[in-house]
Amino acid sequence: MPLPGYLSAAPTVDAVRRQLGAAIFARVAGADGPANRDRIHLSEGPRWFDEGAPIRQVHGDASMFVGGLRALLLQSLHPLAMAGVAGHSGYQGDPWGRLQRTSTFLATTTFGTAADADRAVARVRAVHGRVQGKAADGRAYSAMDPHLLRWVHVAEVDSFLAAHQLYGAERLDQRGRDRYVAETARVATALGVVDPPLDEAQLAADLTRYRPELRSTPEAQAAARFMLLHPPVPIAARFGYAVLSAAAVALLPRWARMPLRLPYLPLAEATLIRGAGHGLTAGIRWVMSPPPIADPVPAPR
């Protein structure tokens, strides 16, 4: 006896869902993604953060796609931090590799065992130890500089939290937001940040304190053009990436846009862009979540 149409179509929908989810995961996590995912989530041992921790809620949500892009744009406004990225990261030559390394680090420190998190931090600190030089204005920079490390951390946490509060599946209340900032401080301290912010108010104050140091540079503008206008994205994914880009730009504070020559369109941002951002992040969340287990279909009598 054939199943009704809506039941017989379900496996096809699930197959498409799995294929899309696998394609996105492969882009974000790389060829070693499945093995890393198993190691991160299935290895036994104590973790830095318990089940239900706000950092797990934020870093495991599809809103991170928006928050990550916003963080990169915001971080680029510090001339010394951007000089280090332009001179050492190879983001234009291997942008997907950089994304995959960053996403693996975030996943490991957020969900992995304490031992794996310690090893991930040690690898990053070893890389940072080799990143030093002089910016175009002659000032020396080092990726081990606690002041620059703090800026990168503050811009990242502010961006992840802002994106989650607008596009996350479930917003954090004030206590949850403060806990999230405090939890990220554990990772920041391990990386070498001195006295990272411990709640949302301190995070906002830190962001304000850095503003006199932020400005436009040719490197920052080139990075923005690359990320927003010329990313190496397959044709099939370009519309989705355009929505992510618009959502990330719309989340930037107004003072951060002019140096990067980014527009401010309040009406479109509050309606079209926000609606499209919600739709896209919900779609990513759906395809990257395991499908629900269906109730068994009763056998015909």
Using one digit for the tens of pLDDT, what is the confidence trace for 179-212? 999 999 999 999 999 999 999 999 999 999 999 9
pLDDT at 11: 62
Distance CA(240)–CA(238), nearest Å, equals 5
pLDDT at 9: 52
Backbone angles phi, psi at 288, to 5 degrees: -95, 0
Which has the closest alpha carbon to 140: 77, 84, 216, 212? 84
Report field, pTM of the whole predicted structure over 0.85: yes
Using one digit for the tens of pLDDT, what is the confidence trace for 118-167? 999 999 999 999 999 999 889 999 999 999 999 999 999 999 999 999 99
Distance CA(25)–CA(69), nearest Å, equals 17
**Buried-exposed string 95-111: b where 16+ CB fall within 10 A, e elsewhere:** beebbbbbbbbbbbbbb
Q: How confident is the model at residue 301 (pLDDT cuts 50, 70, 90)?
A: very low
Q: Tell me: pLDDT of 74 over 70.
A: yes
Using one digit for the tens of pLDDT, what is the confidence trace for 234-287? 888 899 999 999 999 999 999 999 999 999 999 999 999 999 999 999 999 998
pLDDT at 290: 67
Contacts of 223 (CB under 8 A, 6+ apart): 72, 73, 76, 82, 85, 86, 91
β-sheet bridge partners, residue 140: 134
Q: How confident is the model at residue 292 (pLDDT cuts 50, 70, 90)?
A: low
What single-letter amino acid sits at 218? P
Q: Tell me: pLDDT of 291 over 80.
A: no
Backbone angles phi, psi at 139, to 5 degrees: -75, 140
Using one digit for the tens of pLDDT, what is the confidence trace for 52-64? 999 999 999 999 9
CA angle 32, 142, 87 (to 5 degrees): 60
Which has the closest alpha carbon to 30: 122, 101, 90, 111? 101
